[in-house]
Amino acid sequence: MSDLPAPVRIVAESELGETVTRRRTELKNLRRMIKESGEADFQPRTDEAFLLRFLRCRKYDSERAYKVLKNYYRVRASHPNIYGEFYPSAQKNTIDRNLQTILRGRDRQGCAVFIFKGGLWDPKSTKSEDIFKSNVLFLEQSIQDPVTQVNGICAIMDMKHFGLLQLRHSPPAHLQKVVQLIQDCFPARFKAIHIIHEPTVFSLLFSIVKRFLSTKLHERIHFHGHDYSSLHKHIPASVLPAEYGGDLGPMDNSEFFKTMLSQDEQFKNDMTFGYRKKNERADNIFADSS
Of the listed ranges 77-81, 153-157, 231-235, 253-257, the least confidently predicted one is 77-81
At 1 the pLDDT is 67
CA dihedral 288, 18, 106, 187 (to 10 degrees): -20
At 171 the pLDDT is 83
**CA–CA separation, 158 vs 155, rounded Å?**
9
Per residue in 247-276, pLDDT (tens digit) is 999 999 999 999 999 999 999 999 999 997
Q: Which residues of 239-264 are buried (b: 16+ CB within 10 A; e: fewer)?
A: bbbebbebebeebebeebbeebeebe
Mean pLDDT confidence for 32-60:
95
Query: Domain extents for the chain?
Result: 1-279
At 286 the pLDDT is 38
**CA–CA separation, 218 vs 119, rounded Å?**
21
Please name the amino acid found at residue 234.
H
- Topology adopted by domain 1-279: Phosphatidylinositol Transfer Protein Sec14p (3.40.525)
At 81 the pLDDT is 85
**CA–CA separation, 128 vs 86, rounded Å?**
15
CA 54 to the chain's CA centroid: 13
Per residue in 80-117, pLDDT (tens digit) is 888 989 999 999 999 999 999 999 999 999 999 999 99
Residue 281, pLDDT > 60, answer no
Mean pLDDT confidence for 127-150:
96
